[in-house]
């Protein structure tokens, strides 16, 4: 079975500051890793994904994430945040052999960017 832990439920940060949203996972099988973003009153949309290859993946809106297999982490980072980045962010893992049917989501991290 897989599990996903997002270590911070809320992250307040000032505009133009860097941010890191932390995600740890556990799995006995190979997984694909995803970050989704949910803006207020909207559904989730894909921010970035790690399937294989380079451990540093870049996504939309200047976000990037690094896959660390030894630490089973997939932390999301942005060097300089904007007010418009205020949203909830979800880390998700999908077993490689089953695909999206068995996707597990973390509880979410609410990023609040202050002026």
**Residues making contact with other proteins (CB under 8 A):** 4, 9, 32, 34, 36, 41-46, 49, 51, 90, 92, 94, 96-101, 103, 105-108
CA angle (9 as vertex; 50, 107 as ends), nearest 5 = 55
Of the candidates 46, 24, 25, 43, the one whose C-alpha atom is nearest the C-alpha of residue 35 is: 46
Nearer to other proteins, 85 or 95 (CB): 95
Nearer to other proteins, 42 or 80 (CB): 42
Nearer to other proteins, 56 or 96 (CB): 96
Enter the tokens of residue 104: 């597990």
Minimum Å gap between C-beta 29 and other proteins is 12
41/32 Cα distance (integer angstroms): 27
Minimum Å gap between C-beta 106 and other proteins is 6
- Cβ contact 78:68 at 8 Å: no
Minimum Å gap between C-beta 110 and other proteins is 9
């Amino acid at each position: 079975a897989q599990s996903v832990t997002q270590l911070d439920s809320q992250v307040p940060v000032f505009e133009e500051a860097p941010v890191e949203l932390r995600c740890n996972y556990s799995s006995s099988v190979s997984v694909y890793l995803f970050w989704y973003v949910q803006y207020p009153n909207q559904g989730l949309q894909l921010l970035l994904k790690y399937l294989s290859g380079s451990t540093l993946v870049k996504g939309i809106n200047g976000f990037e994430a690094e896959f660390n297999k030894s630490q089973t982490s997939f932390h999301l980072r942005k060097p300089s945040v904007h007010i418009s980045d205020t949203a909830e962010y979800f880390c998700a893992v999908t077993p490689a052999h089953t695909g999206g049917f068995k996707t597990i989501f973390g509880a979410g991290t609410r990023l609040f960017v202050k002026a």
